[in-house]
Structure 1
């Protein structure tokens, strides 16, 4: 069961998701949307620069009841207008406000207030002159908008947040207890959000000199099927382009680029002018290039023959062209990520299902790496909380396997829904394009250095979105107060230290596909080192807008202080390993050996141990060399 979210999270969820009329809203909901009142003056249009449609006279509004006592605000992100002056901020309003509102200019990231001016809002079009024109700097962008106190008294009365009916373009809003992000505030009280799906923010900026805003265009949507596609085949690709400049558009140059390949340009002359503030729809045939996978990047490079300021603002489509599995290898590893918490009533009941999943995949011959992320409890790591939103789950307990989509909207499943036969068959049939060969460790006092190396096979991965995550976990950690866990409840695979960024560090393989990444961290004296493991996995970008492009290529784990080497066995030199009646037999020169189960746990270092049936990994040290191979005990 999911813990109750904060008031801020709840309100923002409603702000982003609201799509029904006021008559359909529950009286318990605080954020509402309505049509503009008939008294909105339609004889006057908004002037200046803005992302919204200047010709729009009918607006949507979102508001909140007065008793919440918080500010609503809305911004557009002004492009780089060079050394200039902002002289006026304009926007429509559906309700007058005698003095609870402000016009505001923030830094591009929203963390710094650069200008604020108290103002009164009239019903209709507001054009508010700045008391002192704001001077912009070359090379910088700004958030320009306004904030207002809620004005309503019930569910049929609304505050002032106007949108047009177009697609959202770099519009942003916040809901907070103050009008600006004062340094003392944290992200829970002032967080910028993009209200996608509601249209574009109806805010316009008048500049002293508007030469740079004459011709500007965005691609706001692109669609086409390049995944999969045949090499050289033309793919009909449709684009939605919006004129956000001051003058009409008569021509533009569309550019596209497959991954890091050559940038191609398609000049296009419009049969009908695209007027300022309007949206146009266009289709082009794009030839599929190369045999690889990745993302194809689209942008508008020029408008009316002039360089478009937003030429570097790309929209992407995934591509998979030709046989991308020709160089891939069979999958040998799997990553299981679990989401849990001590306050979760049902999480201990999920333990048997998670353990069964690990065992069934291990028994199938897959090397299983396991991480148990904690959320909002004493064991939670900031990184685990950061990545959890990208899994798009409906609550905990939950589990992910190789970050494979479980539907169109989530990477997570309830552990009880794991189907051993399905997953075993699916994973063993897969091919992947990345292999981790070594996890080398050096411990000096409380300092840990981990060197992960491996190979990425040509044309089998997206080179722009290949990441490596390395986490130190600890097993058998006593719970503090696990609900329904009992007196002796223990946590396994508890993340203690992220050696990489929460979403991983970008991998850049060499020309031959090899890669090496060196990472460092500090060990806590309270951690039981013999219970700790180093888990490393290569994966796609977790921020990808496509669920199918967040998967894990390979995962390996080893005990803290025990380096892992997946070196191929040289048949003519390696000792011969076999198993009979549960005991190992090794023929050849052997200095020592280590036997691991498929979860990475050390089982034994002696031939006198009777083994349970299953699949194991043995590392043999002989004549200054190490040999790694699988052992099956029947």
Structure 2
């Protein structure tokens, strides 16, 4: 369940102060959001050019929780030549008898046109009393200001955003005691607000011009999703581009350009099988070949739309790349799902089925799946621990958290500007394919454990493959989790609900400990932690994750190298990844029988002690854990000897 009010600070400065005792402490007005619930336009659309989805039915209206000030919002027009602005249209959630339609200079410092107007609740289409003449080569901020911010903090929502795709040119908002900037303006009388990166989408403002010929064929790239990390030169990588049609015509074809660093700009042309309607966003996948060895940023842009030059050809979206010889990389064998939840989240239990579908598909694809469920971010409960609280902020968009949210392998999601999205938004088949086609350059080979007097000692060892990792950016996180913990007061669930994969103990820092790799590529780390007697050891696991720093600014580089899970007190226990090929274990007369290819095996009792590695050993009745090594895979299962 997403939080319904998210707060932002002013971009430029403070607008107000409040007196406390004998001193004055500045108070920053912060944007808040409320949904209109339904469309205010009754199925109609607003005329003119704009960046917002003009068909959206669930608008977000913003405010700052303050009264007696003006709020305003604007869009930045493209360069429209020598032209005339004739009309400004927008939806409003409240009426205001004395409002203003405004045109500002591109930098927002100068008011070029202001006209008093009356705003009605619903659809507003305001014709300028004197059409505003634009100059060729210049761009203008166009919008409106209103003082109808309500009578209290619970009634401040007046400036409209579409709640969908953020476009830089439609992220302008301001607040102050005056409706627009003047020569004598101060930061108190007029100051811009920070809106970008906060998920409100684009301002719902539309502008009608006398000549709209330059506004017919326009496309705006909003996001790119692709992985160019550790690829070989010439290797093609599927890259999904999100494109908003902000022109007046539907889009039937486009020319995409891409450039690795400062290298040659290459062009790919594509005819759309289904035309993209005006104001709508589409996703299109291109096979992009890695053009140059080295590290840097690959830039994407749309050069032409419907055969015409795109005015937003300089608008680029970027992805990091690392191209070279990574022949030592192996096919991905592991994946980790990290989820954020809270007993306060009534929607979280409903997400369990989506998570299980992802796990099932990933396992069916031959991947070993690790799973952690942090009780942090959206809210705290009796299972929240300080380490989870310190970690969650690196997964979410800046200033936001929500539940149910989930990350697969800490993969960056451009649309979310984060490593997480709602669990229901992951398509199991798509992500199983995505992960299976990925590579990894690190293997965890062992998680050896001993427990003595309540102290766990775990030794995590493995190998980092040559040229396949950054030695200055390699970290290890190890967490003890517990399954089947009865809920106390889980929202949205009945009695008997149980929590799974709950972090109980971090053996490393929550963001990981830096991992040292020896000259031969191996690593081994010894860790200790104190176990609590209240935990059910038979329901506990040790999860080890090797990853780049999750603190690094470029979220695209935070994806996990590998993760493995072992039962508490036992060695590394890789899950069955190919059941049809797994050796079949039976016990008869106290002796083991293993059918299938077997290179070696280890049999442990339930205390974790090694019993035998020889099928000739006669076993006492009881329950055992067997690890079978077969063709570079490890299969673990229980064996009951009667």
How does the TM-score come out when normalised to structure 2?
0.47
How does the TM-score come out when normalised to structure 1?
0.48
